[in-house]
Structure 1
Amino acid sequence: MTNKLIFIYDGECPFCNKFAELLELKSNLPEIQIKDARDKPSELPKDYDIDIKGALLIKENKILTGYEAINFICSQIKAPSDALLEVIKIIFRSKKRSKLLFPILLLARRFTLMVKGVSIKL
């Protein structure tokens, strides 16, 4: 991968936060920048609803959202140095599995944020 990637996620979501942490520390993806949307909501595209679409990936001025963003990232991970990231990579490098499972992750995110007392909206 030669082009810079920007991954923007919800830092209050423990699932998103763990994935972002693993990407940053264990993925061996040298050209990925990780940003918490709650720290810099102005970096999200205008009218982007992270609650509906999920995390996003900016790649060569193209925006991938939700399952497509996670699927692309997982397809780029070649040799993660973490067992959990290896499992995530195996599951989400399949577009079909990503599309099927991502809505469940969004529901888990909403539920967890509600339990924590954190707004699901940014």
Structure 2
Amino acid sequence: MTAPEVLLVYDKECPACDNYCRVVRIRKDIGTLRLVDAREDSEVMAEITARGLDIDQGMVLKLDGQLYYGADAIHALALISSRSGVLNRLNYWMFRSPRLSAVAYPILRWARNLLLKLLGKRKINNLKQPGNERF
């Protein structure tokens, strides 16, 4: 029997997001974490878009068929994360609380958007909102 696949959908062109997602580890008893670039067409991106979730405003964790978005995603990820390594312990400590996740996530999102703007990267704009193509 194979371990269930847990999907983490994020913007791979954001260096901060990419580094975070590559470092985070989930416990082996939960399943296997698969990173999905939100800039590529995929089944899960179609599902995210169909649900009206703006990937530019939050990463998505798909666990047991359920989508967790933004602060809820980072909180759920902390709860299923491994405690091995300094960064994974720090991730758990920072985001194990739904309240702290809800406060910290908008700050992280703002920093991501600023970083992408400084790097000259375009938004993903999966919901095709007019005027949202550029920063």
What TM-score does the superposition give when structure 2 sets the normalisation length? 0.76
Aligned to 1:121: 124
Contact 2:56–2:123 at 8 Å: present in 1 too?
yes
How many residue pairs get matched? 116
Select the residue among 108, 111, 120 that pairs with 1:108. 111
CA-to-aligned-CA distance 1:11-37 (integer Å, 9 cap, x gap) = 0112211111012xxx25342211111
What TM-score does the superposition give when structure 1 sets the normalisation length? 0.83
Select the residue among 56, 59, 65 that pairs with 1:51. 56
CA distance in 2, matches of 1:118, 1:72: 28
CA distance in 1, matches of 2:27, 2:103: 25
CA distance in 2, matches of 1:119, 1:57: 22
Which has more helix, going by share of residues? 1
| Greater shift in the superposed pair: 2-11 or 35-44 | 35-44
Aligned to 2:14: 13
Q: Which runs of 4+ in 1 moved over 6 A?
A: none
Higher relative contact order (CA 8 A, sep 6+): 1
Gaps of 5+ in 2: 126-135
Higher gyration radius (CA): 2
Gaps of 5+ in 1: none
CA distance in 2, matches of 1:21, 1:79: 15
SS in 2 for 1:29: coil
Aligned Cα root-mean-square deviation (Å):
1.8
Deviation at 1:41, TM superposition (A): 5.5
CA distance in 2, matches of 1:97, 1:37: 25
